[in-house]
Structure formats: structure tokens, C-alpha cells
Amino acid sequence: MVDQRLPLQPKPTRVALNIERSRHQKPIRFTASNLPPAVAFPGVKAWVVRELGAPESLRFEDLDPSAPAEGMVRVAVRAAAINYFDALMIAGTYQVKPELPFVPGSEVSGVVENAPPKSGFKVGDRVMALLDNGGLTRGGYGEIADAIPASVGHIPDEMPFEDGAAFTLIYQTGWFGLHRRANLQPGETLLVHAGAGGVGSAAIQLGKAAGATVIATAGSDEKVEVCRQLGADHAINYKTRDFAEEVKKLTDGRGADVIYDPVGGDVYDRSTKCIAFEGRIVIVGFTSGRIGQAATNHVLVKNYSVVGLHWGLYVKRAPQLVPIAVRALLDLYEAGKIKPHISERLPLAEAPRGLAMVAGGKSTGKVILTT
């Protein structure tokens, strides 16, 4: 997965709470009528990374956060997405390495509990947000999360919180990859690798919405069926069939106009065998663990393009394009043309199990934690 983090903000100042409770008592909860001044949500639960390691190294803790740092929007989390790169970050092998301790999880939805003036948000707004994992209140595997206003967006009243938590990363990655980088056109053929996964499932739906013929690959017959249910015109088990030969058969030898590749390695190598004249291979990530090497002589002889997609750079270098993508995607959602494929919904307390499922390739689409 590409770097999708936003710049870190200063850590909020913590306020110690002189609240005594027995270790046998449940965490104290406050209502609006008895909330102490300048303090919110004592005793909220969150999964904390205090040492790098496997999912089971996470600690489920009671946190006593202070009020959000100046300029931050505080969200009462209703749902949080588990992403593959969360496992890499927890293990310390991801390109972004938050300072310990931190709370993992970068994608949430929920209800605004506190917002700065002129932020565009008010208490009670239903929102989705991206987080930067800076400290103990800015990760998604918890009951609250603080985000910078630019990374928060309103969600439609008809969108469930689970869909809101699963929406931003996979669909914006797909929109920028297919439309901005590959210029996918109606009538073209799109090949989507790992079609049953998070980014792949979104790409299938976006390809169909754009009027393309979609061919998807997956690593099991069950996942192939998921690709078909998502709308793929053709689906191939790449472990039992040579997808490059199958794509050429399905396109009368022409090949795919656009190939969407979050896998890399051998999958990238075989993709170069079935790319069409003036085709575009979009490099989204390297979940195979091996980075494919482009043979530039082959690129020249076959006259195709290899383009990279670093979605996070649009946030930094061309932020004016992000609202355009958001509006287009919400229009497609409201029209019923795209909807996150959520294969598992787990309570927050089962985060390590969900993380192990995603990291081990045992899930399809998105796995969502609910609070």
C-alpha cells in the first residue's frame, strides 16, 4: 500500500484525572450533564502499540485522553477499517513509522463530539476521517479519534457507519488510479488483480461504473466468486490458470487496456504479457512482497505505459483534486453503483483477530471493527 498518511500534528497535552475506581468496576462513562470541564471520555478503550510485533502484541487499554489538541476534530468512533498496512505498521516494517506508543488504524467513521470553530463541522455531524496515528488519540482502533479537519468528511444520512469507515482509501485510490492515472475509457478492458481484496473490489465496481469490461483475478475459487458478485464480467483463479493466456483469449489476442496491480512480483511480470497496445499498467502496491522490475525495452517494443499511483501525494501536491474525487464517488454511492464489500464485522475487542485475518489473506473486501 502506498503512503496514505497525512502530516503529523503536535501531540495533545494529556490531563490527569483524579478518578478512583476499583479494578473490578467497569470504565466510567460521562453524559453531557456530568462531563467535567475540558475533559472528554475518561476510560475509553483503545488498542495500543507499545512494542513492535505481531497482532497479538497489541494491548487493549483504558485511556484517559484530555480534550483534543487545538485545531483537531474529535470523533466518537462507530466503525473502523482494518487495512493490510496496519499490520506492517504494527510490525515496524511500513514506510511510515509512528513514534511509540500509538494506536493503529487510519480509517474511521462516527459522530463529531468536538470541533474547532470554522472547521466546517459541528457536534453531532456524521463523518468519515483519515488519521495519522500520532499518539494515543489519533488512531482508529479505539472508541475516540482526533483528526485534522482537512482529513474529515461528511457522510450521507443513508450511508451506514460501516460503509463510511470502508469508503475513503479504497475508492479514492481506485478513482485516482483508474481515471487520473490510467484515463480509463468506456468500452476498454480493465484487468484487476486481487479483485476480492479491498482495493481490488473497489476497482471492479469503479471499472463497471465507467463502462469498462472488467476481468478480475483472485487466488481461490471462493474469491473468484466474490469478484463475480462484485460485477466482474470474467474472473480467473490465477493459482490454477495462466491469467495472461486467459486475458488474451477473452480479448481475441488484444490484451487488457488497463491493468490495476496491487500485488507486484510475478503478477506484474505476467501482466506485461497481456497488456494491449497503448495499454497502461497501474502500480498500486506490492502485497506479494516482491517489487516487479520494469524491462524498459519491453515497454518500448510493445508501446505500453507503466504508471505509479501514490494516492497520498495528491493530498499533499494537488489537494484541489480530492474534493472532486469525493463528490464523484459519493454520487456513485448514492446512485447504487458502488458499495464497499464488507466480509467481516467484529467488535473492537476482537481487533487482533481481524488484523490477523487481513494480514494472512483470509478475508475479502474490508474487515470492519465496530464500537
CATH of the domain at 232: 3.40.50.720
**Residues 149, 246: one domain?**
no
**Alpha-carbon Rg of the chain, whole angstroms?**
21
Same structural domain, 138 and 187: no
- 241 and 131 in one domain? no
For residue 49, the SS3 value is: strand
CATH code of the domain covering residue 61: 3.90.180.10
Alpha carbon dihedral 16, 19, 23, 24, in 10-degree steps, equals -150
Local structure of 76: helix, strand or coil: strand
The label of the residue with cell 450533564 reads 33
Q: Is residue 287 part of a domain?
A: yes
Choose one of 296, 313, 330: the last residue of a domain: 313
* Number of domains present in the structure of the chain: 2
Closest alpha carbon to 161 in 87, 80, 86, 93: 80
The answer to whether residues 289 and 215 belong to one domain is yes
| Judgement on whether residues 303 and 178 belong to the same structural domain of the protein | yes
Same domain, residue pair 176 and 300: yes
What does the pLDDT read at residue 40? 42
Structural domain containing residue 176: 169-313
Same domain as 304, residue 234: yes
**In a domain? residue 32:** no
Q: Is 303 among the domain residues?
A: yes
Same domain, 150 and 211: no
Residues in the chain: 371
Are residue 135 and residue 179 in the same domain, yes or no?
no
Which residue positions in the chain have pLDDT lower than 70? 1-42
218 and 138 both lie in a single domain: no
* 201 within some domain: yes
In this structure, is residue 306 part of a structural domain? yes
Q: Say what the pLDDT of residue 66 is.
A: 81
Determine the pLDDT at residue 216. Answer: 98
If asked whether residues 193 and 308 sit together in one domain, one would say yes
- Would residue 23 count as lying in a domain? no
- pLDDT value at position 42? 55
**Please, which residues have CB within 8 angstroms of residue 281's CB and are 6 or more apart in sequence?**
258, 259, 261, 268, 271, 272, 275, 304, 305, 306, 307
What's the confidence (pLDDT) of residue 176? Answer: 98
8 occurs within a structural domain: no
For the chain, the distance separating the N- and C-terminal CA atoms, rounded to the nearest angstrom, is 26
Write down which residue in 271, 298, 313 finishes a domain.
313
